[in-house]
Amino acid sequence: MKTLKDVGEHNAIAALTANLKAVGDDCAVLPLDAHYDLVLTSDPLIQGVHFTPGTAPEAIGWKAAARVLSDFAAMGADPQYLLINLVAPPDEDFQTLEKIYAGVSNVRKLFNVDLVGGDLAQGPVLELHVFGVGRVPKGKALFRSGAHPGDIVYVTGPLGGSFESGKHLNFMPRIKEAKWLRQSGFVRAMMDISDGLATDLRHILKASKVGAALDSAAIPKVKTLEQALFDGEDFELLFTVHADEADQFDFQCLEDLDQQFPRIGKITGQPETLTLDGAILNRKAFEHFR
């Protein structure tokens, strides 16, 4: 008998969703009307997996909602609505739940997203299952599958140390940056970094049937290179730009955003081969069940 541990998170997702009709990766993208595509996503937040007992309840609520908004950012989409299914043990302090929803509300107000529904059920530990609804201009969603050999690989901010610093609880979803990146027309493939650079970049490589060569000195780090590659929970955006347009892209970033994003490597023609300073990087970051 095969178990989830045997199969692994990513193989399990591929097998269980083989018959999906929707297009998408970080989010599902479906036709909405003549002007927009509908964008849908969901994400669980579970005590003991995504946060520890004793975590400030407002931070739990922030993270639960912000993770979903980071999925919208990964597609260049605009979030509009949230629904939350809350699971909690019967002896859970009700004031704690109110503070969690206050944390959700902080995200909601900042990004002008409405909380429109959900459900409540009994369970052994605290869980929040957050569902998001949004939209993106017709045909403009950014997928993982658009990278081409020669593209420059970028990231929006420093990586690693998220759990040590507490960033995994209070990170800012890159909605503003994602909207600009989509509208700029420069970006060819994009996703957010939740499981670590060394794992998440491979999703782009697999979807685009390409490889990548990373430059360790160019990767923005909070502390060590190992943490930047493998820690996860950074929620920065990882994206590619055509090499011939990279200088113009950098200039436009400076003009419009008053900042530039780090170039951390290049896309290669070696399918699903990831190298670091010329050596093949086989180790991956976090994966559920393994």
Q: Are 10 and 4 in contact (CB under 8 A)?
A: no
Q: What is the mean pLDDT of residues 208-232?
A: 97
Whether residue 155 sits in one domain with residue 274: yes
pLDDT in tens, 156-186: 999 999 999 999 999 999 999 999 999 999 9
Q: What is the mean pLDDT of residues 56-65?
A: 98
Within a domain: 286: no
> What is the spatial distance between Cα 81 and Cα 131, in angstroms, rounded to a whole number?
8
User: What pLDDT does residue 226 have?
Assistant: 96
Whether residue 191 sits in one domain with residue 77: no
Name the pTM for this structure: 0.92
Going by pLDDT thresholds of 50, 70 and 90, the confidence category of residue 283 is confident
Within a domain: 130: yes
Whether residue 153 sits in one domain with residue 132: no
CB within 8 A of 217, min separation 6: which ones?
none
User: What pLDDT does residue 7 have?
Assistant: 73
Whether residue 149 sits in one domain with residue 133: no
Q: What is the mean pLDDT of residues 111-140?
A: 97
HSE at residue 58, side-chain half, CA atoms within 13 A, is: 5
Residue at which a domain ends, from 121, 137, 153: 137
Average confidence score pLDDT of the chain: 94
> What is the spatial distance between Cα 101 and Cα 123, in angstroms, rounded to a whole number?
18
Whether residue 106 sits in one domain with residue 9: yes
pLDDT in tens, 236-255: 999 999 999 999 999 999 99
Whether residue 220 sits in one domain with residue 108: no
User: What pLDDT does residue 8 have?
Assistant: 75
Q: What is the DSSP letter of 145?
A: G
Residue 22 has pLDDT above 70, yes or no: no
Residue 289 has pLDDT above 60, yes or no: no
As for how many domains the chain has, the answer is: 2
Range of the domain at 211: 144-280
Whether residue 265 sits in one domain with residue 178: yes
User: What pLDDT does residue 223 have?
Assistant: 94
Segment holding 255, helix H or strand E:
helix 246-257
Segment holding 107, helix H or strand E:
helix 94-110
